[in-house]
Structures are given as structure tokens and as C-alpha cells.
Amino acid sequence: MPPPLSLPVLLTPFQAALSEWGDRVRRDLPWRHTRDPWSVLVSELMLQQTQVARVMPRYVGFLARFPTPAACALAPVGEVVRAWAGLGYNRRAVHLHMAAAVVVDRFEGALPEGLDQLRSLPGVGPYTARAVSAFAFEHDVGVVDTNAARVLARAVAGRRLAPVEAQALADSVVPPGRGWAWNQAMLDLGATVCTRRRPRCGQCPLAAPPVGATVGGCVWAGGGHTGPDPADGSAGVSGPQSAFAGSDRQGRGRLVDALRAGPVTVAALPVACGWPQEPLRAQRVAAGLVADGLAVVADDGSLRLP
């Protein structure tokens, strides 16, 4: 865990309050012990729509198997998918393999530093590019995930934010020279205190202006939490997901898990998906896996990992 950093004299009350809190309570997570761009990229793709608790036990093992972009690119994509077991959203494993191949082919095996170059990698969108920029290269850019977006809407703006507004606001509040620590604090605050349901305002360093300051506290809390929650509908704030049980997503996950153990025949597809009475649905899901690069059709017609 990096030691607390000394704070610049010219921090605003808002920046000072969140920076002090972040340095004091920062969660000890394995990807926060590295500035290696590949390791950071792996962690960010794993964390997309997946809880921290599920990622932690798999992150270290995955990097032991694929410590560099070259190691990942040289392996069959099926091996990367196998190593992704337990994380869900298996298409991310395919994207990571594709990104590794591009890094090797175009960037001599090292992740690029520029945002536009990072965005050119398969599976790397605006959030992931900025996360690698801040957490690997320590650039002063704002990282807006669903947790940080709630903090921005509630504490800083006090209203719903459009996508361009949210990103511009996130960039504007990063204290110079503290891009890494600041973004970690924003993510931690949104994940542990400024939560979607029942935010813990009594524990928030921004709930009220710092002592002696007239500005700097949470705008929403300062207004008595009146009106609708500013985070609802704001850019970057995710809403509730559709039910997983019985969904195609569940069937896809079951089928990929079956493929990790070996090829699956056409006749076995319905059972592998968990829908023994729905062969057409199972075949449709199987075709989707092939289209997404998660499976290939063998000469005998069975399905296997690439």
C-alpha cells in the first residue's frame, strides 16, 4: 500500500477532504500494488460488471499464467477463456486476447501511453483507457465508472449529468500530480459510502463542508437530499440489470463452462445450456458464441473453445 502523499497547499476544500479520506482508508487491493500497464488493463477488464470479491482470487493467478501481452497473445484464445473461469462475461477474455495481439503487433509488446492509442485496443473503451492512464501511467485524468459518477452527480454537481459533462467535471477536479490517488479515492467513496441504495452520508467526508470552509461539501447533502437523487439517470451510473436466472446470459455462461471441460456435441447443447427442452434456443446461443469468438465448430460439428 503506497504511503499517504503530502497534499498540495492549493487544494480546494473538496479536494482536501476527499484526498485525506482516500489516503487514510484506501482499500488494499492487489492491482493497487502495481503500475504495470498490462496488469492494470487485466484488472480493469476483469472488474467490468464483476464484483471485486470475485476478481481478487483470480487476478494473481491469471497474471501468473499470462504475465505480459506477449504471453497472452501467443496462447490460444481458448486458454485465455479457460483462465477466465468464474469471472463471467467471457467475451472480455476474447477482447483481452485481441488487445494483447495488437499490443505485440503495433506497440512492440508494451501498452501505449496515449488515450487515443489505448482506445484503439479491442475491448478498451473510454473508461478503461482513462483507468490505465491514471492507474498505470499516473496521469491526471478523471476516471468515471458507476461509482465515481454517483459522487460527481451528488456531491459535485447536485444534478444529473450528461456524458460530456460528467467526463469534463471528472477531469476538472483531479488535483495536479495526484491522478492515481484521487481516482482511487473517488472509486472507493462511491463503492463503500456513496452507494446506490442507502448512501452512508454520516460516514462521508463530503457530507458537510470541512471545518472553517463555506464551500466544498456535498451539494445534494447540503440541500437536505431534497428532490430526486441526482445520480439516477446520470451518465456512467448503471441501472439495475435484467434478471440473470433463466436468461440467455445464464445459458451462455453454462455453455462456456461446459466447453472449458471439452467439446460439446450438437445433441448435448440443450443440456449444457440448462435448457434440455429448448434445443433451438441452445443452438441460437451456441451460434452467438461462435460469432463472438468464444467457440468454433469442429469438423464433426461439435463445439469447442478456439
* CB environment 164-188: b (16+ within 10 A), e (fewer): ebbbebbeebbbeebbbbbbbbbbb
CA distance 109 to 73: 10
Cell numbers given for 302 = 461439435
Which residues have a catalytic role annotated? Answer: 44
Q: What is the pLDDT of residue 286?
A: 96
- Closest by CA to 202, choosing from 227, 185, 184, 225, is 225
- Distance (Å, rounded) from C-alpha 118 to C-alpha 126? 9
Nearest to 183 by CA among 141, 216, 221, 225: 141
pLDDT tens for 220-271 read 988 888 888 999 988 767 666 667 777 889 999 999 999 999 999 999 999 9
Helix, strand, coil fractions of the chain, as percent rounded to 5 = 55, 0, 45
Give pLDDT, residue 5: 41
Residue 286, C-beta contacts closer than 8 angstroms, at least 6 positions apart: 255, 269, 273, 295, 303
Beta-carbon count within 10 A of 244 CB: 10
Kindly list the domain boundaries of the chain, sorted by start residue.
36-135, 248-304
CB-based contacts of 179, cutoff 8 Å, min separation 6: 133, 134, 138, 139, 140, 141
| pLDDT score of 76 | 97
C-alpha torsion sign, points 135, 136, 141, 147: negative
Q: Which amino acid is at 165?
A: E
User: Regarding the domain with residue range 36-135, which homologous superfamily does it belong to in the CATH classification?
Assistant: Hypothetical protein; domain 2 (1.10.340.30)
Average pLDDT of adjacent 10-residue blocks, the chain of 306 residues: 45 89 96 98 95 94 97 97 94 97 97 96 95 98 94 93 93 95 96 93 80 62 87 74 78 95 96 95 96 94 94
Write the pLDDT tens digit of every residue in 133-168: 999 999 999 999 999 999 999 999 999 999 999 999
Chain centre distance of CA 22: 19
Cβ-Cβ contacts under 8 Å for 204 (sequence gap 6 or more):
155, 189, 193, 194, 218, 221
pLDDT at 2 (0 to 100): 42
Three-state DSSP at 297 gives strand
